[in-house]
A and B are shown apart, each in its own frame.
Chain A
Amino acid sequence: MAASTLPLWLIFRLALAIILDTAVHILWKLAVLQLPNAGSLSASVEAALRQPLFLLVAILFVWQLINWLRVLESSDLSYSHPITALSLIAVFILSALYLGESVDALKVLGIGFVFAGVWFISRTEHDGSARRAIRP
């Protein structure tokens, strides 16, 4: 699908996919940072269930899944997936800005390789049934 023929709503949904993917991971980390040191697995799960941020993450995850399925209804997986992989870069930038996570050359290089790998895999020829793959 050529970029010039993209309908506005699809551009919006692709942007939304990147935003939701990024938000899920940043909020997930924030939620984990707020968990008390519970000690046991059951206590950790119980503490997580009481943490509203985890509920928000779950809601955003479901929204992300629904939005992604809508994107796949009218675009090729091979076209859309590399675009939404931009969330790798968004998470990297936002985690550095708002969570104070480390920024170094090796990490940037690693993310670059993973991004390129996703791009190569997504550009592979595929049949129509692959469009139904669930990958928010």
Chain B
Amino acid sequence: MKPRLVETAARLVPLEEMPSLGERVVQSIVVALVLTGAGVVAWKLSFLTTPLALAILGFYVLSPLVNLIENRGASRGVAVLIVFGGGLLVLIGIGLLLWPSLEHWLQQKPSQAGEKSAFEIQLGKRMDGWEQAAMASRYRQIDWHGAFNQLRDLMERQRKGLTETLPQVAMGALSSAGTLVLAPIMTLFLLIDGARMHKAIVAQVPNRHFETVLTLLHRVDRQIAAYLRGAASESGIVAALLALVLAALGMPSALLFACIYGVANVIPLVGPVMGAGAGLLYALMDPSAPSLGVLAVGYLGVYVIDAMLINPMVVGKNLNLHPLTIIVGISIGGSLAGILGMLVSIPFIAIGKAIINTLWDAVRRQQAHRRGYV
């Protein structure tokens, strides 16, 4: 088709109007007011923050499965129900597998005044063994007895603190359970109607910025999806691998400790230490557990395989957060919402970084285009 060229004297494309200083000031004030208002609303609805954060994570992790089933001809609603039903069955399965270990823990007699629990007795025996070994070593000039007594006092204080704090933690978890129930419901709605909600939101964007906003949202969405799905897959694979390793080493409740490590693994740097710490602490107190050295080698082996093979293959180009950012993020997350906050903080920092990266890239592209075309 030959284009029809018509020359015109009048301007057909209006010049892009640059806002005056006054308009910019007014725009800045409006933006600041809107952001402040949004902040106040978010603060008032802060009880919804955790379930919403979990729902968004659930949406990103589950949507590829829903898309896959929808692609096979099922309607969106049916696909979501299949994934939810399947997820529920998996959770029940994991629960049934974990139940014997949990039941064993629950049946432990609580220590009465002056009476020691099986764990404390075992810990005492191990510490006595270490003290004797230390005293028999060539560093006899050290006051091993005094040092171990101090260590015993420290551990006793920690144990008491933990025993007193645990009921409060349990009550806190129960009180937040009501809002946490909202998370799967929100995930369900996001999976069914996420595309329509997205469309309804972008429909509010003015024509002038529509294409830019649509493209930016799409890029941010892709980055977040790639990161979260990568992290979830990595955690799953690492947990499965560790379960095999721990079971082979004869660790009691191998699946439980593998799950704890897998979940903690979402937190870079500190996560694997926390996850391994749980298993090692348990082994310290359970006579049927393998020795600490063997366990530490097992955990280290899985960590190395994760760092060298699983992470590069599954997560690929990750968002490379600075270690200081991770530590500050974990501290803030922990102070706001405890362990859950620590787990959720890093994915959300990564999401924030993805948004900033994409916006920065878009601004640079726009400037490059303007230089080339205007």
A, B bound? no
Chain B residues packing against A (C-beta within 8 Å)? none
* A residues in contact (CB < 8 Å) with B: none
